Amino acid sequence: MRRTHTCGSLRASDAGNKAVLMGWVNRRRDLGNLIFVDVRDRTGVTQVVFGKEMNPALHGRAGELRNEYVIAVVGSVKQRDPNTVNRNIPSGDVEVIAEELRILNEAKQPPFLPGETVLPNEELRLKYRYIDLRRDAMQFNIELRHKVALAIRDYLSAQGFFEIETPFMTRSTPEGARDYLVPSRVQPGSFYALPQSPQLFKQILMIAGFDRYFQIVRCFRDEDLRADRQPEFTQIDLEISYPQPERVYEIVEGLLTIAFQAGGFRINTPFPRMTYDEAIRLYGSDKPDMRLPVMVDVRGAFAHEQLAALGISPASPVLAIRIPNVGELSRKERDELKPLFNGRGNAKLFEDFKRLEKSFPVPAATIREQTGAQASDLLVLVTGESKVGEHKSEGGVKPEVKQHDQAVYTAAGLLRVSLAQRYADRHGLFQGGELRFLWVTDFPMFEYDEEGRRWAAAHHPFTSPHERDMDKLESDPGAVRALAYDIVLNGTELGSGSIRIHRQDIQQKIFHALGMSQEEARARFGFFLEALEYGTPPHGGIALGLDRMVMILASAESLREVIPFPKTARAVDLMVDAPTPVSESQLKELGISVRKS
């Protein structure tokens, strides 16, 4: 028996034809001598009719059908009477009058039904993922993901990119995230690492003359999970030779245009740009959500004595956060707000603007004016607390002072976003599918690692510094800016890239600035440093998070909604129950012994 139609395809124009449908029993409505069965596949549902009068034996067998049985139905397509048309489904103009029924497979009573309107908890959904994936919403998301990936492949291929695979079993690199390790049987005690990204391979592909490379590729990072972070995730990784940042921006803007088109969205290019320093200053974040108003530094609104009276450090910014239409907060709401505020460093919060207004009416009026706040807007201030004897240490080392201010900016930035999320229903700025893209450029080359007491690469150590900052590599690493850029959408980092170093001598300097000796650099990246010496073209690229992109297109709150088989917050796959211990013999073969603790 051969399927002639999918369950979502029949229309009035098919009336009078024979049809063979195959699918799941989505719902059965048994009216006694008349039974309706909705047959479902990934394309939709079609109503099948079994009448006792027409065919008693068949009607009897239809009575045996249960939810999620897999069936084949032969019948004739009939236009429904006008008063029985179902406007809620695309196939609602027709129904199939059954002539033959085959039960292809029975189903145990499932723990939950795909057609149910209330969702079971996520633990159950993940354990019985194959049932969860039958739900419309999941079918839609996975199809969306396919369409987006396909559109991207077509686009990049048309732009002259080759899709080239790189190894999954590769070399551990100590920089960056923790690696997932794969033990070698042939060389006991040695390990491959799963790639955190194909970074060095794609650079070597440029050295190898492929000019333009891309790959939709799985990456692995052994770090703690979040709603938007899975231990394995998919990147759209690309690299081009002879780049300017501008070329990368154009390619990515084109790519996102067609990807979002595949998801049913129109976007406008080119995207606005902002340096990292501006982003921190104006939004307290390196991934600003542009749907919300900018923060305003209103320290000029206060006189020196007023700052002192308020306990505000005179050198600190005073950042006004405005959230439109949230209105004044009640006493209780203000109390609930405090835990949202991460008062790291010396960051200090003024959550009661009304009260401030009473004591300091003139500055408050200035603040209202500078922020453009309406009476219905929520205003809070974040600033730096002045403490006796504060940051006198280490002779005012520059990065220390900077990081001090940075704490105020980022505390404000985090609060801005949490406030907006909490009161989303009042300001309504997160509805309506607004897409605010942004390029954030000129990231710092290095970040100071407090724990390790050393400089670390902010992006990765193969990122090219700005030409103009080369001379500061030794003297003032914190001031060196990199040719690195992030693409940000609605406060989510969609992708991150850079122009790479293509000269071996500069690469050496960077390793040196990172406190890595020549021997150490050779030991870790010798193969790469050597490759750089054999005629390396200038090159650069970016990697975009496919999962995050599809998540936004699907308006999903979690990556798990767009990944067929995701892991829980403890990095467990509940369906297959991984990870698991392995047998003693397997371990022995690998030369591994597990320490019991």
Partner RNA sequence: GGGGACGUAGUUCAGUUGGUUAGAACGCUGCCCUGUCACGGCAGAGGCCGCGGGUUCGAGUCCCGUCGUCCCCGCCA
Distance, CA of 196 to chain centre: 16
- Cβ contact 322:316 at 8 Å: no
Instruction: Report helix, strand or coil for 380.
Output: strand
Neighbour count for residue 519 (Cβ, 10 Å)? 9
> Of 404, 367, 403, nearest to 385 (Cα)?
404
At residue 47's C-alpha, the angle toward residues 41 and 51, to 5°, is 135
Q: How far is the CB of 467 from RNA (least distance, A)?
A: 20
Instruction: Give me the half-sphere count of Cα atoms (radius 13 Å) on the Cβ side of residue 541.
Output: 29
Indicate whether 416 belongs to the interface with RNA (CB under 7 A).
Answer: no
Around Cβ 185, how many Cβ atoms within 10 Å? 10
- Please, which of residues 246-305 interact with RNA by CB under 7 A? none
175 binds RNA (CB under 7 A): yes
Stretch that binds RNA, among 171-179, 300-308, 522-530, 587-595 (CB under 7 A): 171-179
- Our CB check for RNA shows the closer of 392 and 596 to be 596
Among positive and negative, which fits the CA dihedral 356, 358, 360, 363? positive
User: How far apart are CB 101 and RNA at their closest, in Å?
Assistant: 17
Residue 238 one-letter amino acid = L
- Which residues, 430 to 449, sit near RNA by CB under 7 A? 447
Termini Cα distance of the chain: 59
CA 495 to chain centre: 9
Site for RNA in 523-562 (CB under 7 A): 558, 560
By beta-carbon proximity to RNA, the closer residue of 299 and 524 is 524
| Nearest-approach distance from CB 376 to RNA, in angstroms | 28
Q: Residue from 106, 123, 434, 476 that binds RNA (CB under 7 A)? A: 123
Does 347 sit near RNA (CB under 7 A)?
no
| DSSP structure class, residue 220 | E
What's the length of the chain?
A: 597
519 binds RNA (CB under 7 A): no
By C-beta, is 136 or 224 nearer to RNA? Answer: 224
Gyration radius of the chain's alpha carbons:
30
CB of 361: closest distance to RNA in angstroms? Answer: 35
Are the C-beta atoms of 95 and 51 separated by less than 8 Å? no
Stretch that binds RNA, among 50-58, 324-332, 377-385, 520-528 (CB under 7 A): 50-58
**Subset of residues 51 to 70 that bind RNA, contact rule: CB under 7 A:** 51-53, 66-67
1 near RNA, rule: CB under 7 A: no
Query: Applying CB under 7 A, which of residues 20, 70, 72, 85 lies at the interface with RNA?
Result: 85
Closest CA to 551 of 227, 204, 186: 227
* Residue 216 identity (one-letter amino acid): I
Q: Is 570 an interacting residue with respect to RNA (CB under 7 A)?
A: yes
Where in 457-486 is the site for RNA (CB under 7 A)?
457-461
Residue closer to RNA by CB (options 30, 136) is 30
* Among residues 1, 12, 104, 119, the one that binds RNA under rule CB under 7 A: 119
Q: Which H/E stretch holds residue 504?
A: helix 504-513
Part of the chain binding RNA (CB under 7 A), chosen from 115-123, 316-324, 397-405, 469-477: 115-123
Interatomic CA distance for residues 458 and 279, integer angstroms:
16
CA gap 562, 582 in Å, rounded: 30
Q: Which is nearer to RNA, 117 or 330 (CB)?
A: 117
User: Is 414 one of the binding residues for RNA (CB under 7 A)?
Assistant: yes
The secondary structure of 277-294, three-state, reads: HHHHHHHCCCCCCCCCCC
Among the listed residues 223, 260, 130, 165, the one whose alpha carbon sits nearest the alpha carbon of residue 548 = 260
Q: How many CB atoms lie within 10 A of CB 536?
A: 19
Q: Of 2, 16, 31, 160, which lies in the binding site for RNA, with binding defined by CB under 7 A?
A: 31
x/- mask, RNA, residues 204-243, rule CB under 7 A, reads: -----------------x-xxxxxxx--------------
Cα of 545 vs its chain's centroid, Å: 6
CA distances, 220 to each of 233, 235, 396, 547, 550 (Å): 7, 10, 40, 13, 19
Q: Please, which residue, 363 or 399, has the CB nearer to RNA? A: 399
Q: Which of 2, 16, 82, 84 binds RNA (CB under 7 A)?
A: 84
For RNA, which is the closer residue by CB, 196 or 346? 196
Distance in Å, CB of 262 to RNA, minimum: 25
Helix, strand or coil, per DSSP, at residue 249:
helix
Pull the structure tokens for residue 441. 């450029």
Least separation, in Å, of the C-beta of 269 and RNA? 26
Q: Kindly identify the residues of this chain, within the stretch 187-206, that bind RNA according to CB under 7 A.
A: 196-197, 199
Tell me which stretch binds RNA (CB under 7 A): 120-128, 144-152, 265-273, 522-530: 120-128
Chain positions 312 to 331 lying near RNA, rule: CB under 7 A, are none
587 binds RNA, rule: CB under 7 A? no
> According to CB under 7 A, which one of 177, 182, 258, 424 is a site residue for RNA?
177
Q: Which of 16, 82, 108, 117 binds RNA (CB under 7 A)?
A: 117
**How much helix, strand and coil, in percent to the nearest 5, is found in the chain?**
35, 25, 40
Least Å distance between CB 86 and RNA?
3
Among 122, 250, 333, 352, binds RNA (CB under 7 A): 122
Give the largest CA-CA distance in the chain. Answer: 96
Q: Which C-beta is closer to RNA: that of 53 or that of 246?
A: 53
Q: Name which of 83 and 583 has its Cβ closer to RNA.
A: 83
